């Protein structure tokens, strides 16, 4: 990510959402030569996959069982529960796996301990969805000494030595943030809104987690590019209950805020409760007193809120990582090399049809309008 941004910023210091397509091509070419694209300077691919857990044939064709230690974050959100189901549905006994599932309940120390226990238990693979980015060097050094491959999924981490994990698969939270911010800017342009009147409150996810860091970085950069005011931030911990408390605190401190940037859907559900209880009107008409909410994940319930106009725009974050993790494990089982970094493709959703697409880093992303048909077909 560092390299991507460095590379990008040399060419597009401002207006990153509106760069001309040829610049994107130039950038892509340069990135190809310089290895831009990840904070790890490794090969990157982007994968798209659908809203389900369709898995290939089962793993241990030769009858041996593969033991996987899975260090999960917690149960804080709809996203997380779906992600846990995806992993559980993929690594079943029937399919040749013994899954040791450890839920750290959002405690980074407990998660480090869980990974240490996996070493004692002699697992074949460790799958880690790190709560926070930092603090992994020591325990992953121990894992490497024990010769256990580590697959990092969902959230990103920062290590002194990237050889401490074999592969990473997940989302690019900064790109998710860039897309939502590009949508806000596009809406302002389309409606002729004065962006210096954007007064944004942030409801932050778990501090130090890569989605909190990435999504907030995108917002702060966009705010500086377009003259938006960020009035303040409160911690929402990615949960509905804390999201509600955070919204109450924001309203108390900044009664004139007109946009709420929620780091996930569950926080948005809490924010909606708080705003409704305070008698506020939620919507995109911020010039006439409405408060606009944007969020991330695009869970089914959130998309029903998008359709109702309660969430204006929702950046998708895909939780169906089980099959993607399995692909890595099966390749390693066959002695094949695996790509170090694989981003999953993700969309962006809005309730109105005003903005058809947004451009980030020279790439166009369609904005999907949430229809009743889409909602009925949505699994998560
Ligand atoms: O956005 C949030 C969850 O790490 C991408 O964690 C994930 C985030 C997701 O609790 O809902």
Distance 211 CA to ligand 1 centre (A): 7
Question: Which contiguous run of DSSP H or E holds residue 293?
Answer: strand 292-297
User: What is the pLDDT of the chain when averaged over all its residues?
Assistant: 88
Give the model confidence (pLDDT) of 78-88 as tens digits: 999 999 999 99
Ligand 1, atom nearest to 171 Cα: 5
Ligand 1, atom nearest to 170 Cα: 5
pLDDT category of residue 343 using cuts at 50, 70 and 90: very high
Residues 109-124 have a mean pLDDT of 98
Distance 246 CA to ligand 1 centre (A): 17
pLDDT category of residue 259 using cuts at 50, 70 and 90: very high
Identify which of 77, 172, 207, 242 to mutate to test ligand 1's pocket (most ligand atoms within 8 A of the CB).
Answer: 77
Check if the beta carbon of residue 11 is closer than 8 Å to that of residue 27: yes
Give the model confidence (pLDDT) of 319-333 as tens digits: 999 999 999 999 999
In sequence order, what are the beta bridge partners of 128?
71, 152
Angle, CA of 107, 110 and 111, to the nearest 5°: 90
Residues 4-30 have a mean pLDDT of 33
* Sole residue written with tokens 């799958």: 127
Give the model confidence (pLDDT) of 284-310 as tens digits: 999 999 999 999 999 999 999 999 999
Identify which of 104, 173, 238 to mutate to test ligand 1's pocket (most ligand atoms within 8 A of the CB).
Answer: 238
Which stretches within the chain are classed as H helix?
A: 2-11, 21-34, 78-90, 108-121, 137-145, 173-191, 210-226, 240-253, 265-277, 300-308, 322-333, 372-377
Domains along the chain with CATH numbers: 5-171+319-343 (3.40.50.2300), 173-317+347-377 (3.40.50.2300)
Distance 213 CA to ligand 1 centre (A): 12
Shortest CA distance to 279 belongs to which of 294, 268, 290?
290
Q: Which two tokens stand for residue 64?
A: 């041996």
Task: Indicate whether 13 pLDDT > 70.
Answer: no
Whole-angstrom Cα distance, residue 250 to residue 274? 10
pLDDT at site 58: 52
Please spell the DSSP secondary structure of 304-369, one letter per residue. HHHHHTSSSEEEE-----HHHHHHHHHHHHTT----SEEEEP--EEESSSS--EEEETTEEEEEEE
Least confident piece of the model among 61-75, 78-92, 223-237, 363-377: 61-75
- Whole-number Cα distances in Å, 157 to 5, 133, 153: 17, 4, 10
Ligand 1, atom nearest to 79 Cα: 11
Query: pTM higher than 0.85 for the full model?
Result: yes
pLDDT at site 63: 67
Please report how the helices 265-277 and 300-308 are oriented relative to each other, as an axis angle in degrees rounded to 10. Answer: 40
Distance 169 CA to ligand 1 centre (A): 14
Shortest CA distance to 240 belongs to which of 172, 305, 319?
305
Identify which of 317, 318, 321, 343 to mutate to test ligand 1's pocket (most ligand atoms within 8 A of the CB).
Answer: 317
Distance 215 CA to ligand 1 centre (A): 11
Whole-angstrom Cα distance, residue 355 to residue 11? 26
What lines the ligand 1 site, CB under 6 Å? 76-77, 79-80, 154-155, 171, 211, 238, 264, 296-297, 317
122: left (phi > 0), else alpha (psi -120 to 50), else beta?
Answer: left
């Amino acid at each position: 990510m560092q390299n991507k941004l460095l590379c990008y910023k040399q060419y597009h210091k401002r207006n990153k959402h509106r760069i001309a397509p040829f610049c994107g091509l130039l950038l892509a070419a340069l990135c190809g030569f310089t290895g831009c694209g990840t904070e790890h300077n490794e090969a990157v691919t982007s994968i798209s996959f659908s809203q389900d857990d369709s898995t290939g044939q089962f793993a241990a064709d030769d009858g041996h069982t593969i033991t996987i230690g899975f260090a999960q974050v917690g149960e804080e959100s709809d996203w997380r529960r779906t992600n846990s189901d995806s992993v559980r549905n993929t690594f079943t006994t029937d399919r040749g796996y013994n899954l040791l599932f450890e839920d750290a309940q959002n405690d980074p120390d407990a998660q480090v301990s869980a990974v240490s226990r996996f070493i004692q238990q002699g697992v074949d693979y460790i799958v880690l969805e790190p709560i926070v980015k930092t603090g992994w060097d020591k325990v992953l050094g121990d894992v490497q000494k024990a010769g256990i491959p580590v697959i990092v999924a969902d959230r990103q981490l920062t290590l002194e030595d990237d050889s401490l994990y074999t592969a990473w698969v997940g989302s690019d939270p900064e790109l998710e943030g860039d897309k939502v911010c590009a949508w806000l800017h596009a809406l302002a342009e389309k409606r002729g809104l004065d962006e210096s009147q954007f007064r944004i409150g942030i409801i932050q996810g778990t501090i130090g987690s890569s989605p909190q860091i990435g999504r907030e970085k995108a917002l702060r950069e966009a705010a500086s590019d377009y003259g938006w005011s960020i009035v303040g931030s409160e911690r929402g911990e990615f949960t509905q209950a804390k999201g509600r408390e955070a919204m109450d605190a924001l309203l108390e401190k900044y009664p004139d805020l007109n946009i709420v940037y929620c780091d996930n859907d569950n926080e948005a559900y809490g924010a909606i409760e708080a705003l409704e209880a305070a008698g506020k009107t939620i919507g995109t008409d911020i010039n006439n007193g409405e408060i606009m909410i944007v969020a991330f994940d695009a869970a089914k319930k959130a998309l029903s809120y998008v359709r109702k106009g309660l969430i204006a725009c929702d950046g998708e974050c895909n939780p169906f990582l089980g099959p993607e993790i399995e692909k890595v494990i099966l390749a390693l089982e066959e002695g094949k090399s695996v790509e170090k970094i694989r981003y999953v493709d993700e969309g962006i959703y809005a309730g109105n049809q005003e903005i058809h697409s947004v451009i980030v880093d020279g790439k166009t992303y369609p904005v999907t309008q949430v229809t009743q048909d889409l909602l009925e077909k949505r699994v998560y």
